[in-house]
Every structure is written in C-alpha cells, then in structure tokens.
Amino acid sequence: MKVTEQIFYFPGINFDCNVFLIKDDSSGELTLIDCGTGFFFDRQIQRISQDGLDPQNISRVILTHVHFDHSGGLINFVREYSPEVNVFHLEADSIEKGGNGLLLAREFGLEFTPTKVHKRLKEGEIIKAGSFNLEVLNTPGHTKGSICLYDRNSKVLFSGDTVFTYGSFGRVDFPTGDSRQMIQSLIELSKLDVQYLLCGHLDIATKNANEQIKLSVKNARLWV
Ligand SMILES: [Zn+2]
C-alpha cells in the first residue's frame, strides 16, 4: 500500500519484517528496503504487482540489518532481478559468508544463502533514491551494525528494528545487541524531525511520529 506517491509499504507476513519500496518517478527504478524471510516471496511479488509496480524494476536492495527475517529473502530478489545489494559495512561479511552468527537463520529454521554485497554502506553516506536523499545512520543497539535511513526533506525515517514498531524498540539480547546503545540510538532518533516512521515490523506511523519515537525512548529506559 502507498505511504506517499513514491513510498510503498508491504506489511510483514508472519515473522517477515515490513518491506518498503521507493519509486523513482523519472526512471521507474525501485529501491527495496529489507526483504523478509523469503518464505512468502511469491506473495510479495504478487502484492508489488498489485500496487502497479513492476518488480523487474527493483534495481537496488538496502538492508537495515542482517537478521534472517530481513535478509532471508535477499537471494530470491538477487536471482530474479539482479539488484545492487547495499549493506552497512559492519554486517556485510555476514551476507557474503553466511553462517549463523548475526543472521539468526537457524532460529528461523533455514540456512542462509550467501550473496555478494556490492556496496558497503558507511555512517553518514547519502543514498539517492528517486526524490529522496537517504542518510545512513548507524543506530547500534538491536545489532551493532543496524542502520536507519532518513530523508530530511520529506521527514521520512526507515527505522529497521531500532524502532521495531511505533512506540517500541527492537530486542537487545541477540549477538552484538546492547541495551545502553539502544537507548542512546533512540535518543538520537528522537532529535530528528520525522513525519513518516517506517518501522521494521507491524504498524508504521504517518503522523505524530516524533511523539512515537519519544515514547520508544521512554519505554526502552523502563524495560532494558
Ligand atoms: Zn532484527
């Protein structure tokens, strides 16, 4: 479903993360943010087509972090559409080498298929996707290499599992997770001007998003 004219939201099925697509109005190219587990790939493609988008135009994939519920489906998109794969530099090796470690693939009952990473993202880097200038923000806590993507102009924040769903935050008990860093990352996010809070799971927020992030900070302080 449409969040804005250029951003499409595909709510996660079962354990899958939410998946987002950004459309470049001039070239028609699509940037995919996170992939889900891959268990529901056919349904994902069906939904994308139903929204009037051509999945053949998926030219880039960005992962917010490498947990299997975000990365498991990457191989399907790579095989079908050969997109450029973008992963934060701290987690890129997990995608290229596989294994369990950070990926948590076995927890989801599958082996991860290693895939080439074309671009190792750095903190502060800007990714141009259509009319958006997505700033890469490293927000450690859920994992050390977790990122959020922020566009200042349109006040859009793709939060991955740092803000798991609005008002909440991601688990900190997985490998490289850290509760203090989580609180600090959420505090940093709460300083941003956000209208569209596009979370890694469950519901997203399209208004009062700043309040929701402040609530995440409050909840993280209480619970971790
Ligand atoms: Zn995660």
What are the pLDDT digits (tens) for 35-60? 999 999 999 999 999 999 999 999 99
Q: Which residues contact 18 (CB under 8 A, 6 or more apart)?
A: 9, 10, 11, 12, 34, 198, 199, 200, 201, 202, 204
Do 169 and 182 meet the contact criterion of CB atoms below 8 Å apart? yes
What's the CA gap between 193 and 155, in Å, rounded? 6
Q: Which residues surround ligand 1, an ion (CB under 5 A)?
A: 67, 161
Q: What is the pLDDT of residue 109?
A: 79
Q: State the chain's maximal CA–CA distance in angstroms.
A: 46
Count of the separate structural domains present in the chain: 1
Residue 37 placed within a domain? yes
* Ligand 1 centre distance from Cα of residue 162 (Å): 8
Residue 145 placed within a domain? yes
Residue 90 placed within a domain? yes
* Ligand 1 centre distance from Cα of residue 16 (Å): 10
Residue 2 placed within a domain? no
Residue 1 placed within a domain? no
* Ligand 1 centre distance from Cα of residue 131 (Å): 28
CATH number of residue 29's parent domain: 3.60.15.10
What's the CA gap between 81 and 129, in Å, rounded? 17
* Ligand 1 centre distance from Cα of residue 103 (Å): 9
Q: What is the pLDDT of residue 86?
A: 98
Residue 91 placed within a domain? yes
Query: Which H helix or E strand runs over 212?
Result: helix 209-223
Do 185 and 145 meet the contact criterion of CB atoms below 8 Å apart? no
Using the predicted structure, report yes or no on whether residue 224 has a pLDDT greater than 80. Answer: no
For residues 171-193, average pLDDT: 95
* Ligand 1 centre distance from Cα of residue 81 (Å): 24
* Ligand 1 centre distance from Cα of residue 199 (Å): 11
Residue 144 placed within a domain? yes
Bigger pLDDT: 111 or 63? Answer: 63
* Ligand 1 centre distance from Cα of residue 22 (Å): 21
- What is each CA distance from 88 to 27, 114, 222, in whole angstroms? 25, 16, 29
Q: What is the pLDDT of residue 99?
A: 77
Residue 46 placed within a domain? yes
What's the CA gap between 63 and 160, in Å, rounded? 8
pTM for this model (two decimals): 0.96
| Domain housing 211 | 7-223
Beta bridge partners of 87: 120
* Ligand 1 centre distance from Cα of residue 201 (Å): 9
